[in-house]
Structure 1
Amino acid sequence: MSTVKPEREYFLDSIRAYLMLLGVPFHVSLIYSTQKWAVNSTEASLWLTLLNDFIHAFRMQVFFVISGYFSYMLYLRYQPQRFLKVRLERVGIPLLTAIPLITLPQFFMLKAWAPKLANWEHFSPYEKFNNLMWELISHLWFLLVLVVLTTLGMLTFRWLRDQKRLIDYQRVGWGTLTLAVMAWALLWCVFRRVIFMFQPGWLMDGLFSIVVMQTLFYLPFFMLGALTWKHQTLKQLFVRFNPVMCFGAIAVFVLYCVNQRMSSGEGWLYELDALISTLMGLCMLNVCFCFGHKLLNSHSPRIMYLVNASLFIYLVHHPLTLLYGIYVTPHIHNDTLGFFIGLLMVFGLAFLLYEIHQRIPLLRFLFSGKPQNK
């Protein structure tokens, strides 16, 4: 257990906050993209479809690297049982709070006002349960995955802490790192293909898809973050500009777009998506870290405000975006104008709700998981 509190990594806080806040333009652009969502505009926009694809291609991979970094830091700071309690409170309490206060009302809203659940009465009991699970936790999936990864961290972090230094990380470069992470992604693809061949229904199950498949996909990024804390040479690698990784992100994004439009669900769409998204995550890890370290590695009250607000904004923006899509989108016939009006309305209402909740101690605790000072 370490009792020395390290210097705050402001650029990592900032990147994590911005990645969370990117959830708003991601979901607002989803309305105007070619992707089928709960609500869609009459005509799809090409540039908003590309924007939506770009955000989706890398955002959560980088987020889980940063989560693993800070989680391992806390694991070393506390006793293991104390670490588990602190992390589960900070992740689990907002998760459990958001279900009855956000996603359950959102479910009834979709059931009443959107065509997505129009045939609810004709669903079988399992279909009703599975759709309910998707609606209750799909928006909160990353919190559930963090709960699972934190619990697994009692084993994986202990193994990492006790691991003897068999690898000289001074000699580890992007090539070795990419091969290692891509090897895990390939194993994930094989695992998914076996399930698809013998138990395809599991992949449509909300709980299995998130708890098992998503957790296994993001596990190497989470552990990569922990390794970055333990071996600072990795952090130096990430914050140093690498032209192959940075400009390679453009080529990988082109592959991502091609796969989304040329492949099918019955073919190799999801396996190719996993491989491409893994590579895109590694490329954008270098982009986010190197530019974040140069531009955001200093204390700023405005940035710290966004850091503190980002989780709450992410939790409440989803139903606000759906309401905007249901009631406002049909009256705006220009997709670009609708997108920016949507950003203004959703961000405005979300920050207003954040300020209201800040003044209510119980809500501050429920949406942060942190004990509030008297």
Structure 2
Amino acid sequence: MTKKTQQREYFFDSIRAYLMLLGVPFHVSLIYSTQSWSVNSPVPSEWLTLLNDFIHAFRMQVFFVISGYFSYMLFLRYSRQHWVKVRLERIGIPMLAAIPLLTLPQFFLIKAWTTKIGNWSSLSLYDKFNALTWDLISHLWFLLVLIVLTLAGVWMFKWLRESKTAKTEYSDLNWTRLSIAILLCSLAWGTVRRLLFIVAPQLLGNGLFNYGVMQSLFYLPFFILGAMAWKYPAIKGLFVKPVPWTFIGSALAFVAYVANQTYNRGDGWLYEIDAVVSMMMGLWMVNVAFSLGHRLLNSHSPRVTYLVNASLFIYLVHHPLTILYGIFFVPEISNNTLGFLTGLVFVFGIAFILYEFHLRVPLLRFLFSGKPQR
């Protein structure tokens, strides 16, 4: 077992909590966006579409950098077997608990009250299974990706730990080189997707393949980058030092993201261009989020500690609450901005009430955290 002590970096906790909680405004704004979702408002809102696009364009890339950072830290602290056990428990148990408790009821809600699934009785057995896969995994997809990356991390982190590269090796790394590396990763992902689109397009419509393979490959570079930021201080230093052109690059990448979403189509190069733009914006937003977080949020706060502890539970329960709000309340509120703000109050309010309730039930605390309860 290798032990490594380091002063707690509170800004990582803050960023991680806020990224998770951004899932609520993301999905509530999705109702009012031009994107087709399980539920949509009668008339979309331009500014809420932009808000939704902005959150979607960078949030999970930054999240997986932080996840890789802490995953590698724990890998150094525990034996490999214990690390795998702890990580799979913390990720797998909440996911497995959320399927029967949250996403299965959500599936029946969507099936009964929306037209998303269509005529269930006319679907083939495969189509029914695939529809179930998409909706049962649903917003839990990032937990499935974390499971895949954890299993891959057994090999990747072992290689990284045993690498003879000196800690000062990356002292000359700059944002230009890092951007080129991520650009190449995005082009590789786009090439894989385009080849699949040509030779096996049915795979791209398979929910399990999309979540378990394509999403895992997309976020793999960010997960590895986070682990390298723990091992090599020069990379972490690069992340927390504000660089003006990454701020400008993020803004330009967002403009390109919106243009691609607006003017491209799914049977064209929409997804490949989206991968390039999203990966680049995600990388540059790492600098934006980390540098601002390091400057403004790097102190202990009981409020942030509470949000860190609550963030996973809030994320897990917010999705069915958002769909409930979209089905029963959105049609009654004609003003989109008012509806969006009311939706935030509705979803956050009930989610935090449920969080407080679950804290008082040891079995629920275990199921939604994966941690043994004293």
TM-score in terms of structure 1 length: 0.99
Shift of residue 242, structure 1, vs aligned partner: 0.3
The amino acid that maps onto 1:281 is: G
Matches of 2:359 and 2:6, distance apart in 1: 28
SS in 2 for 1:170: coil
Give the aligned partner of residue 275 of structure 1: 276
Give the aligned partner of residue 171 of structure 2: 170
Matches of 1:189 and 1:248, distance apart in 2: 21
Matches of 1:187 and 1:326, distance apart in 2: 40
Matches of 1:180 and 1:138, distance apart in 2: 31
State whether structure 2 residue 244 is matched by structure 1 residue 243.
yes
Matches of 1:76 and 1:148, distance apart in 2: 19
Give the aligned partner of residue 214 of structure 1: 215
Give the aligned partner of residue 350 of structure 1: 351
The amino acid that maps onto 1:286 is: N
Cα pair 2:73 2:230 within 8 Å, conserved = yes
State whether structure 2 residue 331 is matched by structure 1 residue 330.
yes
The amino acid that maps onto 1:156 is: M
Matches of 1:117 and 1:76, distance apart in 2: 45
The amino acid that maps onto 1:157 is: F
Matches of 1:343 and 1:101, distance apart in 2: 22
Give the aligned partner of residue 316 of structure 2: 315
Shift of residue 233, structure 1, vs aligned partner: 1.3
Matches of 1:117 and 1:184, distance apart in 2: 34
Shift of residue 116, structure 1, vs aligned partner: 1.0
The amino acid that maps onto 2:87 is: R
Shift of residue 120, structure 1, vs aligned partner: 0.8
Cα pair 2:4 2:76 within 8 Å, conserved = no
Cα pair 2:247 2:285 within 8 Å, conserved = yes
Matches of 2:92 and 2:233, distance apart in 1: 29
The amino acid that maps onto 1:115 is: T
Give the aligned partner of residue 259 of structure 1: 260
The amino acid that maps onto 1:181 is: I
Shift of residue 3, structure 1, vs aligned partner: 2.2
Unaligned residue ranges in structure 2 (runs of 5+): none
State whether structure 2 residue 368 is matched by structure 1 residue 367.
yes
Give the aligned partner of residue 81 of structure 2: 81
Shift of residue 254, structure 1, vs aligned partner: 0.2
Give the aligned partner of residue 137 of structure 1: 137
State whether structure 2 residue 45 is matched by structure 1 residue 58.
no
Shift of residue 117, structure 1, vs aligned partner: 2.0
Matches of 1:153 and 1:237, distance apart in 2: 23
SS in 1 for 2:171: helix
Give the aligned partner of residue 20 of structure 2: 20
How does 1:183-202 map onto structure 2 within 5 Å?
183-202=184-203
Shift of residue 118, structure 1, vs aligned partner: 3.2
Task: List per-residue Cα deviations over 1:14-39 (Å, max 9, x = no partner).
Answer: 10100000000000000000000010
Shift of residue 5, structure 1, vs aligned partner: 3.1
The amino acid that maps onto 1:315 is: L
Percent identical pairs in the alignment equals 63
Matches of 1:49 and 1:109, distance apart in 2: 25
Shift of residue 4, structure 1, vs aligned partner: 3.5
Task: List per-residue Cα deviations over 1:125-184 (Å, max 9, x = no partner).
Answer: 100000000000021000000000001000000011111117821000111111111111
Cα pair 2:103 2:138 within 8 Å, conserved = no
Unaligned residue ranges in structure 1 (runs of 5+): none
Matches of 2:194 and 2:256, distance apart in 1: 21
158-167 vs 88-97, which moves further:
158-167
The amino acid that maps onto 2:213 is: V
Matches of 1:338 and 1:53, distance apart in 2: 18
The amino acid that maps onto 2:331 is: P
SS in 2 for 1:265: coil
The size of the alignment, in residue pairs, is 373
Matches of 1:248 and 1:181, distance apart in 2: 14
Matches of 2:5 and 2:137, distance apart in 1: 34
Task: List per-residue Cα deviations over 1:290-344 (Å, max 9, x = no partner).
Answer: 0000111111000000000000000000000000000000000000000000000
Give the aligned partner of residue 123 of structure 1: 123
Give the aligned partner of residue 293 of structure 2: 292
